[in-house]
Structure 1
Amino acid sequence: MWVTRGGWGPCHPDAMGTPSDRAPLAEQVEELLAGGGPLTIVAAGDPVLRRGTEPYEGQLGPALLARFVEALRITMRAAPGVGLAAPQVGVPLRVAVIEDPAPVPEEVRLARGRVPQPFRVLVNPAYEPVGGARAAFFEGCLSVPGWQAVVARPAEVRLTGQDEHGHALDEVFTGWPARIVQHETDHLDGVLYLDRAESRSLSSNRAVTERWAQPTPEEAALALGFELP
């Protein structure tokens, strides 16, 4: 696919398929949006979270894509969360949204590199590590409610893709924003954070709040018996 300055365009006449090929996905989204308000978030165990997604190539059309993105925004904020991928509402399309007001204490901000992120739309995103540094922190997921686990991820990544208007994205993320874009992009590949987590760190939200609320997970690693990078 190539992207024109004004939006999406196929690399050849068949790249986007026929209207009948695209209709089922558009109809699915229209049906989801008909209910209004926040969408239902799919929980782990639903196959849609494991199948991966198809690249966005104009299947929804600009107006429907804009409505879908707005529904993702509303749903993410209502949850609340700092990111939401299309498969998490049952749509196998390579689209995600992120936003993080980062209302955290200064010591947490410094330890985790958590800084505010404006609302962003990621279309067909992919990431690759920048350098070899890794960071490990407790991480949760709206599709795995009630639980958190420590996940070691690259501390810095280069994200490529497009925005909702078809404009190219090529940006380096560090700290907590890097974690968010990795988490959401993983969803689009059928990967849950649990696949990358330290299994011995798995903790209920209550346990994390009462025992492991420190800026870093060193105490949890010692007490629960897992290694940090």
Structure 2
Amino acid sequence: MLKRELIDTVQIDDGETLELFSHGSDFMIVLGYNELMSTRMRFSEEQLAELTLDRLEAPRPRILIGGYGMGFTLRAALARLPENSQVVVAEISEKIIEWAKGPMAELTGNCLEDPRLDLKICDVAALIDDANDGTCAKFDAILLDVDNGPDGMVRADNNRIYSRTGLGKARDALKPGGIVSVWSAAPDHGFRRRMQEARLDVEERRVRSRPNNKGAHHVIWFGRTRGG
């Protein structure tokens, strides 16, 4: 029987530790007793990109992805986007990118070398602020998967991104008709209300974690700017 093997660890805010494990040909990133992501359950993170792009009308979108993770959302977006599009990825942990280029290089493929990618090692909130103050261009879509959902389990600072004020900043960083999409491992009845209070028109979808209609139900919220 295969055993789960610890490959590497990295400390994050508040002294918490992220651990990268392998289990046969699969990988998983774990925080304490919580498995944050796994190569066995990628479908909902891919759908975060697929379903967002389905809702966009921009011919060559400029999108922001908050959280690289294992790259499932990024690769799904790159597979769909035409030339001259741009994907900005904000990943706060450089170690996550080291894992992508090292132990998980086969999974990563060449996505980190794609000319449409602009990878930033920073908090996604900083890029949202840059779009608001004119330091960088606004986005057609902002895809947020920087935690296990809107409860800020991994980093307490993530709560500000998912607050009504943070959602309002994300809204203001979008072009007219833009979409902010949020992935969550579980339902959050108050979060939909916060999105509406941030003056977003909200759609909620439940998506399986595996493409064979099995696995846990995850949630994706889509908030469109009003008047777009």
Q: Tell me the TM-score normalised to structure 2 length.
A: 0.28
Q: Tell me the TM-score normalised to structure 1 length.
A: 0.28
Pair member with larger Rg: 1
- Higher strand fraction: Structure 1 or Structure 2? 2
- Higher helix fraction: Structure 1 or Structure 2? 1
